[in-house]
Structure 1
Amino acid sequence: MTQHSTLTITNIRRPNSDTSESLTIENGLIKGWNLPEEGQTLDGNGATIVPAFIEPHAHLREPGQEQKEDLASGLAAAAAGGYGTVVSMPNTAPVVDDPAIVRALIDKAAALGFARLRPAAALTRGQDGEQLAELALLAEAGAAVFTDDGRTNENARTLRLGLEYAHSLGKVVSVHAEDAGLRAGGVMNEGPVSEALGLPGNPAAAETAHIARDIEICRMTGGRLHIQHLSTARALELVKAAKTQGVNITCEVCPHHLLLTDEALRSFDAVYKVAPPLRTQSDAQALLAGLKDGSVDCLATDHAPHTRAEKELDLLQAPSGIAYIEIAFPLLWTNFGAELGLQKIVELLTTDVARVLGWPVPSLEAGQPADFTLLDLETVRPVDPATFKSKAKFNPWVGQDLKGWPMLTVVDGQVAFERA
């Protein structure tokens, strides 16, 4: 990472503009546009500047699972993907349910100089779903969100208390909404494909039943509930209806649920095993429609790295998860750029995430934090695992040609990533 008190980036363009401009940043803040050059200069090579993306849902595996990912590799991967801030999930070993762990993670990440870390803390002690963690102390230590992600909150009373307590602290509770009993041992979407393959299915009702319950608890408490990685058309219908009735609920969708379906599991390749599972084409189309009409609040990757050995196990034994935070924007831009447009995709990755989390809306105006990324929207490059910063150097899109690559990411006025 390069550090400069003053940096001017020249030859850049704002979205939907052909005008070449310059941006000066000083002491971590945006000083202004098209000022006389001072300090070091960098040529933006005609790239498009947008606010740095915000990732509301990523697994960085530290502490305790560093063979899969650690803060250095995960946050470097995020910066390479154009992300300036990452909310990390707490299902580590030990679980992030102690204020000291939250502080240690924030301090370690700050010293690395890649993307900024905002850890989520567990809603319950040990993520056991029963006894609330010390939410006030965790919030004071810097916890961004409360969640037992990786586990489903089966105890409705505990979720109720958590929503009430978190609401008093001005915090969001995010949930992995699957009914554990209905999900059972399902390894893929329950339907014609799972039946043809003879694999145990995870029905859409596991998600919708849990969300229906959680909506009622949210309605009762007045708390702020966020549904993670929503995957089915019916679940989105429930969330949309709840919003019209004033329930304080939001949801996120992941690119893999837009781009892939359960048909991919015909390969028996566990790289396609995720939780919740890949659904049907009609589900994917409904989620895309939700992005267009605003019923889906934001995008998240659920970046979930595992070792190659783990993902080479059979579908019954392999863990769930895909790691692709550094190619998320190129995937979205290549596949949906014409349909959604640049402004909408960027909003779903920045402004909309900030609103879900209750954070200030990102801006590229003078006086604002210098968090931005430069995008090459035209050049086509192959997905090359050799360039990955993540330890998980594989995903379903290896070898595919994509455009929309982040070329430079700046966080707090410092260069966190620069593409060679």
Structure 2
Amino acid sequence: MLLIQNGRVLDPYTGVDAPRDVLIGDDGVIAAVQPHLDAPAGCEVYDAAGLTVSPGFVDGHVHFRDPGQTQKEDVLTGAAAAAAGGYATVICMANTLPTCDTPEIIRYVTDKAKDCPVEVLQAGAVTKGLKGQELTDFDALTAAGAPCLTDDGVNLTSAGLCRTAMEQAAARGILLSFHEEEPSLVPSPGVNYGSAAAKQFGVPGARASAETAMIARDIALALDTGARVVFQHISCGQSVALIRAGKALGARVYAEVTPHHLSLTEDDVPAHGTYARMNPPLRREADRQALIEGLCDGTIDMIATDHAPHTAEEKAREFAKAPSGITGLETAFSVCNTYLVKTGHLTPMQLMEKMSKSPAEIYGLTGRAVAEGNFARLVLLNWDTETVYKTYKSKGINTPYTGMPLSGAPRAIVTGACVTAR
């Protein structure tokens, strides 16, 4: 048994924001949540004084590079990074080597993660080999445990094939998750088109219209088919406006935004170089403000890290030849707390909704409240401690946040009756 004492339960499911002790049985199920509980004989006690006790974070968008590129990350190191970041559940993207387009690869990932403190789910691909030509077996992939289907990293460029995928997904109640980018509008990825950073690094950059063109198309297709679609890592103000309008028209669409797009802009790229090269790129300050506004008014549903580890050698290449992407699981809470809560844009409860409740509900994950009868998947958070990240559990160190003063940090996750400290 485990008794978490002296903490403050902050639960977006129940609305509780009050001092509570939480007792967890040997079976990992929450047995009691009360203002005060005495420890039963032989019970382990965790003193959570100064911490909040909340449902663990859920990240619908991570890359663990396993199988195929385990020099960058693997399931075990990715799960360790997720645990350090306060995550209860993560969903891995399908752009592995080979592509996760068969049930066997889905089971490979989930079997490898079965003893991890973090629940690792594996998305399936929409098209075979991510080639955008032939749809996968949707039924087989979801039966194997895929919580959604995605060709993340590759835009589903054919409108006809995209519509067929939406029709099939809608008929089966399957969630689709889309990387929205018209390739012909991306002269070079990783940095905003025409920005000072693009000029400095000698590349054209990626236009924001590459993202908005696809979002507009797919809102129309979602309205036409009734499909449920997540728009991944949106980066600009016009995308927020389009999604807001699409929702008002009745489209069953959702949007995710990353901590880095909420906290950094194109002006930060020169200082960080390839560690701030990402796809979609960091955009203007006006876009960052629009993303925050969309998060606050509910247009953007959830925060997802797009955790994308690369080797130091790859990121050491010149800007035009380096891969896009940064790591994000371990720093996400601190970044969001610093730039959203401490600035007054969101309350702590609202941040918990965006990082825990909303993604869990969108991906069909149930039983997550800090309530009796639920299996414990909790995070213990300090919202005020000064935090500077220097080392990581992830194999990837490609993040612009190293050495940056931030506020707040996860202290531990609780899975069942087991505490995993950061």
TM (norm. structure 1) is 0.94
Q: Is the 8 A contact 2:334 2:387 kept in 1?
A: no
In 2, distance between residues paired with 1:19 and 1:222?
A: 43
Indicate whether 1:250 and 2:245 are aligned.
no
Indicate whether 1:43 and 2:38 are aligned.
no
Q: Is the 8 A contact 1:96 1:102 kept in 2?
A: yes
1:168-207 counterparts in 2 under 5 A? Answer: 168-194=171-197, 196-197=199-200, 198-207=202-211
| Higher alpha-carbon deviation: 16-25 or 6-15 | 16-25
In 1, distance between residues paired with 2:128 and 2:300?
A: 30
State the shift of 1:264 in Å.
2.0
**Residues 78 and 192 of structure 1, relative CA distance in 2, 3 Å threshold:** closer
1:103-114 counterparts in 2 under 5 A? Answer: 103-111=107-115, 113-114=116-117
**Residues 37 and 262 of structure 1, relative CA distance in 2, 3 Å threshold:** same
Query: Aligned with 1:19: secondary structure?
Result: strand
Opposite residue 130 of structure 1, the aligned amino acid is: Q
Identity %: 37
2:143 to 140, 143, 161: 140
Indicate whether 1:11 and 2:6 are aligned.
yes
State the shift of 1:262 in Å.
0.9
In 1, distance between residues paired with 2:58 and 2:117?
A: 13
Query: Aligned with 1:189: secondary structure?
Result: coil
Opposite residue 114 of structure 2, the aligned amino acid is: A
| Higher alpha-carbon deviation: 164-173 or 92-101 | 164-173
State the match for 2:233 in structure 1: 229
2:313 to 291, 295, 309: 309
**Residues 102 and 18 of structure 1, relative CA distance in 2, 3 Å threshold:** closer
State the match for 2:131 in structure 1: 128
State the shift of 1:164 in Å.
1.6
State the match for 1:210 in structure 2: 214
2:66 to 45, 62, 66: 62
Q: Is the 8 A contact 1:187 1:200 kept in 2?
A: no
Indicate whether 1:263 and 2:267 are aligned.
yes
In 1, distance between residues paired with 2:104 and 2:300?
A: 34
Q: Is the 8 A contact 2:57 2:356 kept in 1?
A: yes
What are the ranges of 5 or more consecutive residues in structure 1 without an aligned counterpart?
1-5
Q: Is the 8 A contact 1:147 1:175 kept in 2?
A: yes
Q: Is the 8 A contact 1:153 1:159 kept in 2?
A: yes
Q: Is the 8 A contact 2:24 2:417 kept in 1?
A: no
In 2, distance between residues paired with 1:379 and 1:164?
A: 48
State the match for 2:33 in structure 1: 33
Deviations 1:320-345 (A, max 9, x none): 00102111001111222131110011
State the match for 2:13 in structure 1: none
**Residues 92 and 13 of structure 1, relative CA distance in 2, 3 Å threshold:** same
Query: Aligned with 2:397: secondary structure?
Result: coil
**Residues 145 and 192 of structure 1, relative CA distance in 2, 3 Å threshold:** same
State the match for 2:384 in structure 1: 378
In 1, distance between residues paired with 2:183 and 2:398?
A: 29
**Residues 193 and 411 of structure 1, relative CA distance in 2, 3 Å threshold:** same
Deviations 1:195-250 (A, max 9, x none): 64342121111011111111111111111111000001001111110110001111
Deviations 1:322-378 (A, max 9, x none): 102111001111222131110011100111112222332620010012000101122
State the shift of 1:23 in Å.
3.2
State the shift of 1:147 in Å.
0.2
State the match for 2:120 in structure 1: 117
In 2, distance between residues paired with 1:208 and 1:103?
A: 35
TM (norm. structure 2) is 0.93
Query: Aligned with 1:202: secondary structure?
Result: coil
Deviations 1:39-92 (A, max 9, x none): 222222331111000000000000010000000100110011000000000101
